[in-house]
């Protein structure tokens, strides 16, 4: 039975998302994208509403069965960490509103699962995402999008692991 997963890399300015299907151990790209909020938007709640609405549209259209989302990393700036947490909460709420179970993954676990080291660079993650999905080297998208696809791939790789 095929399983479709959405990976989400939350951010208050850019939220990456990627949907991956796994069937008989073979991964394939369904769709991916990025939600960009307007940096000049001075009402933060409007940015959060935009993230929620656009993710809801994606969820309604593609109907993934499960969701994987990146946990918040330790940020040096507490104000930035709070905004990131709010954007993450909106993404989790969008999935919950669509009855999609959500699992959380630390950024270092995602990188270690894909690249073999928890301190991998974003470009290394993007390369491995293309490799796992059997995409041509010329395939490119924003790094937030490849991170989201990496989160989905990590979830599909680890979902039956007793470690989670």
* Positions marked catalytic: 9, 70, 144
3-state SS class at 8: strand
> CB of 34 within 8 A of CB of 142?
yes
Tokens representing 45 are 């709640």
For residues 67 and 65, what is the distance between their CA atoms, to the nearest angstrom? 7
Q: What string of DSSP letters covers 100-120?
A: --EEEE-HHHHHHHHHSSTT-
């Amino acid at each position: 039975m095929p399983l479709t997963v959405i990976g989400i890399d939350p951010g208050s300015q850019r939220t990456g998302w990627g949907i991956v299907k796994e069937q008989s151990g073979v991964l394939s790209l369904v769709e991916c994208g990025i939600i960009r909020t307007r940096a000049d938007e001075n009402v933060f709640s409007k940015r959060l509403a935009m993230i929620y609405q656009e993710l809801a549209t994606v969820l309604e259209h593609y109907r993934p069965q499960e969701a994987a989302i990146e946990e918040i990393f330790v940020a040096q700036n507490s104000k930035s960490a709070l905004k990131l947490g709010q954007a993450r909460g909106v993404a989790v709420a969008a999935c919950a509103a669509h009855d999609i179970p959500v699992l959380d993954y630390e950024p270092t676990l995602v990188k270690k699962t894909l690249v073999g080291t928890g301190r991998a660079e974003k470009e290394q993650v993007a390369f491995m995402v293309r490799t796992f999905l059997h995409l041509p080297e010329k395939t490119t998208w924003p790094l937030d999008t490849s991170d989201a696809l990496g989160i989905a791939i990590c979830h599909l790789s680890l979902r039956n692991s007793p470690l989670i």
